[in-house]
Structure 1
Amino acid sequence: MMYIYSEDLEKKLSKKINSFYVLVGKNLTLLNNNQDLIVQFAKKIGFQERIKINVSQHEDWEKIFNFYTQKTMFFKKSILIINFLISMSNTKTMKNIKKIFLMCNSDIIVIVKLNQLSQWFKINILSQTFQNNIDVVHCSTPHSTHLNNWIKYEIQKKNINIENTAITLLKKYYEGEIFFIYKILEILPMIWPNSLITRRHIKKIISNFSSFSAYHWINAIFNCDKKQALYILNIFHKKKYNALILIRALQKKLLTLIIEKRKKHFTNKKILKNKYVFNETRKHLKQIDQNQYHNIFFYAIKILVQIEIKIKKQYSYSIWMQLKKLTLILCTCKKTL
């Protein structure tokens, strides 16, 4: 068993592919990239079938167990992706997880995706079961040294020649937003192939990519700055910004505020490693009306889900109208003086 970071996964896969991979964290960019990387290497050695199962209720466990038991002589080597959407705190869930790990099979590579590792999981699964065949990959938003290492890895992988000052500017502007850093690094070689990327190039691409990020829009909402929030949203609309990015970012913010608001004291700084982000969240919590936040937040999440479904079915102008309406609703969720 090994604990590895995203920037080390490719090197590990090139040497050996294990039977189990546990992707831990909430950063969607890292979760998806690492999953795709494992699948890519697995396909090279004959694992062509890919099955994904979301576990959100007890009935979903049967889908996993049936997958293992319904093997036939025509069964193809498969990659089983299990995405846990439920809490791992109850006994039944823990027993089922252990059962999955005990159903080891050389024809199946399992990728388990979790938000976090419980102490029980570490002791009963990682320390006792298939120790040599499990890799745990950190998929939380990297900071400090880990962020530098991840950016260095992406730059080398994409063969980008870039100045340190340009990297510093990119990190400063998109602090904590891995998706944007990844996308910019992805398009740099396309725009300026075989060129030295300088600070000037990064300034230009940031300006063209977007004057604002999803964070700026969300910050304006929870600072109850209706004018600024709508202004930023209009810019996103004009520049044909990916609305799904806004939805994901706002969902994450709402869930964080709901969880922390339920606590008696806002002291869990471990989940907010960045001090600035912690202070911003604490400030937003103080501004929220205790009596109305619950209904408004859950209503907002419901609307976001509806918008996401509409995007996936048919992209239309009404999506942006719904986002504007939601922005106005959330801007009113303020503590009355």
Structure 2
Amino acid sequence: MFNLLVTADEEAWDGRPTTFPLSRSLREYTDSAITERFGSLDDESVVALMRMPVIFAYEQAVGKAPKFGKITHISKRSNRMEVRVDYELIELPRFLTNEELWAMGVELDLGGWESSRTHWAVKDVDLVRELIPKGIILPEQFVLQPRALATPARVDITTHRFDVAFSFPGEYRDLVESVAKETTALLGAHACFYDMNYQAQLARPALDLLLQDIYGTRSKLLVVFIGTDYQRKMWPGIEWTAIRSVMTTAKANGRIMYVRMDEGTVEGIFPHDGYIDARRFSPAQIAAFIAERIEFTPALTPA
């Protein structure tokens, strides 16, 4: 979810607190279930609202670009029937323009007349995911809001179909383990094949054949951490055999995702191939990229 605060005051969003009529706070252009949950502005609701990212927007006719930040304090003033909002603006390398914001009606669940109405709405939208295609990366604190996972039942990895399989040399393990944890929080238990999660089942003869089956036929998206150490390692070499065996079709249907650790070369990967630069993004941000790719990667064909 995210907060959308809209004003007609072109001098607003300079860091000074602002107020909204209570009738326009968490009630207009907001799903009724959200209003029921947060509209009372009790202590629990205020804490939840302050955790959400915020778009500080101007009415479209004002013509000014929105700003990004977070709410730091909320106080309901019952005698005045208004709500005071204190906030902190967060500078980003790039954020939405006025035109881009109001053109994202579908993505951000914006109402038809919302751009010309001063109000405070809450949208049941993953703002992080919707802004990534625009080249906008939000701070890590907003990238992932993990949900508690119940103790998962075991799965048989000789038959289980994974959403994601990670391939990497041991030198990259610290980063990959962090990415795997963040991705699991987003996609659910047993969505990711990460070797340390299945040590008992990997302690078997002919492991190379099992790995080739997992990477070649039973993983929707192959996330390959490439760099100097990748190809010269034994196990990644075995995995790479499986991955390369499906490269022709994988490139066509989007089953490969590269995460580059350094400038080292890997056979079969070319300068024009796209990648996520692990030197620029946090594990939570990389996990968000992976989750986005999963959303648009075709399902595996049943064996």
TM-score > 0.5, shorter chain as reference: no
Larger C-alpha radius of gyration, 1 or 2?
Answer: 2
Question: Could you say which TM-score interval applies, normalised by the shorter chain?
Answer: under 0.3
Structure (1/2) with the larger strand percentage: 2
